[in-house]
């Protein structure tokens, strides 16, 4: 995994051979982004198979289930993580053969999940790029590019595809506090692609929209409820509100695996609250910006109601409201 905590100053690749270390890497945000941590969890479960000393399939399945529970707890909001673990465990339960062959089967399935993610995101990006017009200025929140997936990305993949199609576009990159995924990661990716951008403070987007400087808003998703409500990086809700008020389309881009069909509405999505230190230990000119006795709340995600989302961008195509109805139609195609 690329250690995303060190970018953009340092580019380092970490290697892991224990599922517990993969879970820790997910929890500590060495790797982040819903599709990326889904693929990472799949490889983590494959590692668990090789770690296990079990000689029978039944004993190996028990070890795999324990590892799966451990991995799922690493980041509770992003549904792709649980989706990947469930897919791997279903394959293990249905596998007929000895334990050693099951280990190989899980390793191959993890590779398949990773390869699928690349193809899914490329298709998603092609559908989304059709919504981007030459000359568009686009607000993008958090990081949704190749770093957040296996490759291409979701919302940033759409932007990248539009750029590669020759469209002249400009990206306003939200800093995305407190971990600054926009300023650190999205800006770094845009430089790799040669796409023009400006970093803006998270509170600036509404003003830019009101001044007529923005034509599109696009962000990803970590979990989507069946009714179309979208859980994404904290700040997405306020961004969508500003877009709605200014008549600017706000798109959420994600693979269908991000939809949690078992959750009827967004207020049922568990929202991760991370440690206060991420907020309190921010520094300015080498010094802490908050009082030593300060406390903080650090919610990692918020939920944007479906009424504020102009469309979903998925590998099944662009899906418009009403999402629950039109998703069913898209799924049969």
Domains of the chain: which residue ranges?
19-122, 127-331
Is-catalytic flag, 222?
yes
| Annotated catalytic residue within 117, 222, 229, 302 | 222
The parts of the chain modelled with pLDDT lower than 50 are none
Matching CATH number, 127-331, of 1.10.357.10, 3.30.420.40, 3.40.50.300, 3.40.50.10470: 3.40.50.10470
Distance CA 26, CA 187 (A): 22
pLDDT on residue 333: 65
CATH 3.40.640.10 at 19-122, yes or no? no
Q: What is the pTM of this model?
A: 0.88
Give me the sheet containing 170-174, strands edge to edge.
197-200, 170-174, 137-140, 216-219, 250-253, 311-314, 317-319
The pLDDT of residue 257 is 86
The pLDDT of residue 77 is: 76
> What's the rounded Cα separation, in Å, for the pair 125 and 29?
25
């Amino acid at each position: 995994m690329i250690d995303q905590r060190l970018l953009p100053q340092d580019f380092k690749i970490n290697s892991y051979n224990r599922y517990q270390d993969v879970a820790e890497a997910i929890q500590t945000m060495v790797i982040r982004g819903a599709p990326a941590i889904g693929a990472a969890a799949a490889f983590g479960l494959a590692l668990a198979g090789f770690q296990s000393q079990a000689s029978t399939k039944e004993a190996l399945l028990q070890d795999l289930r324990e590892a799966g529970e451990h991995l799922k707890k690493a980041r509770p909001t992003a549904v792709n993580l649980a989706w990947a673990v469930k897919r791997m465990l279903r394959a293990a339960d249905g596998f007929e053969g000895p334990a050693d062959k099951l280990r190989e089967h899980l390793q191959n399935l993890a590779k398949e999940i990773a390869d699928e993610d690349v193809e899914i995101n490329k298709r998603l990006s092609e559908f989304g790029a059709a919504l981007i017009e030459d000359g568009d200025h686009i607000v993008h929140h958090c990081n949704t590019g190749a770093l957040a997936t296996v490759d291409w990305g979701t919302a940033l993949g759409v932007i990248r595809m539009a750029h590669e199609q020759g469209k002249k576009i400009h990206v306003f990159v939200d800093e995305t506090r407190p971990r600054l995924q926009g300023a650190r990661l999205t800006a770094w990716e845009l430089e790799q692609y040669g796409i023009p951008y400006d970093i803006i403070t998270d509170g600036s987007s509404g003003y830019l929209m009101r001044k007529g400087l923005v034509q599109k808003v696009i962000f990803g998703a970590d979990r989507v409820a069946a009714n179309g409500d979208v859980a994404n990086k904290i700040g997405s809700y306020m961004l969508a509100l500003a877009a709605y008020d200014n008549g600017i389309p706000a798109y959420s881009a994600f693979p269908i695996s991000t939809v949690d069909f078992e959750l009827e509405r967004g207020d049922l999505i568990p929202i991760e609250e991370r440690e206060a230190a991420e907020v309190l230990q921010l520094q300015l000119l080498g010094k802490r910006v908050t009082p030593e006795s300060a406390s903080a709340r650090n919610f990692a995600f918020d939920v944007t109601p479906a009424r504020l989302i102009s469309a979903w961008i998925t590998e099944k195509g662009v899906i418009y409201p009403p999402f629950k109805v039109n998703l069913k139609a898209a799924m049969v195609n």
